[in-house]
Amino acid sequence: MLAPLTTTECKEKVRYRIAWLTGSVLALSACAAGPNYHAPQSTALGVPAGYSQGSGAALDDATLATWWTRLNDPTLTGLIDQAIAGNLDIVQAQARLRQARESLRQANAAFLPQVNGSASGGKNYRSQAGGTRVDDSGNVISTGASNWSSSYSAGANASWQIDLFGELSRSAEAARADLAASGYDLANVRMTIISELVTNYVQARASQEQLRIARETQKVQQDNYDIARWRLQAGLVSSLDEQQARAQLAQTNATIPQLEASLKGSLNRIAVLTGQAPGDATRALETPAPIPTAATDIATGIPADTLRQRPDVRSAERALAAATARIGVAQAQLYPSLGISGNIGTTSNAFKDLFDLITGGVFANVAQTIFDGGRLASQVRAQKAATDAAFAAYQQSVLGALEDVENGMASLDSARRRKIEFATAYEASNNAAILARSQYQSGLIDFQTLSSSETTLLNARNSLASAQSDEILAIAQLYNALGGGWQNMDDRPHEQ
């Protein structure tokens, strides 16, 4: 006869069985269904070794993070700080990031047992009419009296889904990728808002510069009109000169309201980008200030650096990872599922005796779909198709990023070359206009010649101002294409 086990031996035996069961479950769950994700290499995406132009100098994360400070404009820097703190598009993206974080917590919670508890208590009333009733032997069956009785119950149910074929682990993997993608989406929104704010700020300063040029031209053309009228009254010229001078002045006057409306539109947009209502929020910006300037050197790095810095590209890559993980989720549903459940409960007519008798049970459940008309297999194929689409979207984002950088470098080079030529044109046309005014006042040339020189000067001044603003806009475009502006985020995404 075998000797009975001691309490210690019983505990050891239970621990052994639990360890064996846990080890078996973990070994099975390690065989997760579906493909393991590996990020595509640059060569598979068709990424070139370098850009067609640019220095190729390595990107500097610190410079990218606060590239707008290189424009040497404290007012602009302050506006960007306001936008980062109060822009409502950024607030929405932050909320979506929090949602993704909670989705990951929910996916991780599926690995743990789910426990529910319940309890109830109450009194029952029973009333029976009539006198005392006895059976054939004379025993009292009921007295016909009314009475109250109590009842109490408590119970708990637990269930645990074993991750045999990786359905839960693949779901958590997809949720982690979604969380990282949401973080990169937030970074992309922030980057876009900064670029748009810089664009509108530069456009506002350019409008102010063009307004200054228009008003200075207006004064000169008013003087020309006065001279033409005086010469007409003196009989030195015909009314043709006067009417031409009048028409030229009116045309310049007509450009001022348009420039003022453009300025107002830029200021209103700046207010909204900083999370404020248009109007008083940008009142201080109505005071004219110069168009910002910037250093000429911009490191562009190599295409692989750009893909690392561009949050939209990294978001697309994380979306591909999530889609790949969901293939495993779909495939795991083709295989058997194992669940463990248990319950424990007690009931009594007296609360003090509630836990005198406790009942319970533990159950294991294995389920396997036998026939579903091909629904689960179709879900696997559908998810594979979704993964193919995600890969194409990732490739598209890569090509788009490379295109943005190439376009940004081309725009910056064009703006700088045009600025040099327009500076020369402005100097020459200004000298010509000074000579023409002097000669017209002396009667040596007609008004048509003066008008032509004045128009050339006005166009040269406006073109130079436009080239100066285009240079800064091209710098903003290039830094945005390189992925600058999000490297110092508090919620900077981390891939797990």
Q: Report yes or no: 33 and 166 within 8 Å, Cβ to Cβ.
A: yes
The highest-confidence range among 24-38, 224-238, 405-419, by mean pLDDT, is 405-419
List of domains in the chain:
35-117+150-203+281-482 (1.20.1600.10)
Tens digits of residue pLDDT in 281-338 = 899 999 999 999 887 778 888 888 888 889 999 999 999 999 999 999 999 999 998 8
- Label residue 258 by pLDDT band (50, 70, 90): very high
pTM across the whole model: 0.82
pLDDT beyond 70 at 29: no
| Phi, psi dihedrals of residue 131, rounded to the nearest 5° | -85, -165
Q: Report yes or no: 422 and 467 within 8 Å, Cβ to Cβ.
A: yes
At 129 the pLDDT is 56
- Label residue 142 by pLDDT band (50, 70, 90): low
Rg (C-alpha) for the chain, rounded Å, is 40
- Which tokens go with 82? 């306001």
- Which tokens go with 86? 């109060």
CA angle 93, 96, 99 (to 5 degrees): 155
Read off the pLDDT of each residue in 71-87 and give the average, rounded to a whole number: 94
At 228 the pLDDT is 81
- Which tokens go with 147? 């009475």
Contacts of 470 (CB under 8 A, 6+ apart): 411, 414, 415, 418, 419
* Consecutive H or E run containing 245: helix 239-273
Name the residue among 316, 294, 295 with its Cα closest to residue 307: 316
At 269 the pLDDT is 96
pLDDT beyond 80 at 11: no
Tens digits of residue pLDDT in 152-173 = 888 889 889 888 898 999 999 9
